[in-house]
Amino acid sequence: MTTTHDHFHIGLPKGTISYKSYTLIRSFLNKDVHKTRLHYFDKRTNIHFYLLKQRDIPKLVHDGTIDIGITSTEWIREKGYPALIVKDVGWCNTRLSLLAHKTTPFPNNHQSFSCVTEFPTIARDFFASKGYTNISIEQISGSTEGLVPYVYSCAIDCVETGKTIQRHELVEKDVIFISRTVVIVKNEMKKKELERILQLLLNKV
């Protein structure tokens, strides 16, 4: 753990739900915060807040680089790091889905096809569970919708409102799972002072 000298480190999501992170930080600092910063420090509680990519938070919690994280469950599953989920904060309403063009019949498990995704581990597990073996999976960092069907047969990506896939004439062929935004800690969190900080955080989210 990095809770040296009674300082604590909390990783919060940047990106589309960063406004939730800034609201939480403001509740600790009791003042407006500059949204161009990626680090904030609350002197009263000795808590450091970091705005991070959600995909990085499970590893940082697992390694002990940060003590507490808020991230989406698809990244916990994709990265495979064990973590203790202590609360669902309800910050997003998304699902991880298999996407394909609305006019393209999805291949059967005897046809070869390709999939583009940010989540190759989840994709491999999903296709294996469905019996698809002739599948090529390509990993990129988002914006998969524009590549289907012209470059790839399908995509596995997060869907929230569905507007982006509608603009690209895609449909959800399957919903792999519903994503949640959760507070995570290491499984073996033992320090009593850290437990107090965790409870303080949970009371504010």
Reported as a single tens digit per residue, the pLDDT across 84-121 is 999 999 998 899 999 999 998 877 777 889 999 999 99
Which residue type, as a one-letter code, is found at position 49? F
Say if residue 24 is in the same domain as residue 54.
yes
Say if residue 36 is in the same domain as residue 65.
yes
pLDDT(6) > 60: yes
pLDDT(1) > 50: no
Residues near 169 by beta carbon (within 8 Å), at least 6 away in sequence: 101, 102, 103
- Asked if 156 contacts 97 with a C-beta cutoff of 8 angstroms, the reply is yes
Residues near 190 by beta carbon (within 8 Å), at least 6 away in sequence: none
Q: Which domain holds residue 59?
A: 4-92+180-202
Instruction: Check which CATH number belongs to the domain holding 157 and give it.
Output: 3.40.190.10
Reported as a single tens digit per residue, the pLDDT across 15-63 is 999 999 999 999 999 988 888 899 999 999 999 999 999 999 999 999 9
pLDDT(3) > 50: no
Say if residue 46 is in the same domain as residue 74.
yes
Q: Where are the alpha helices (DSSP H) in 30-173?
A: 57-63, 73-79, 120-129, 163-167
Say if residue 66 is in the same domain as residue 115.
no
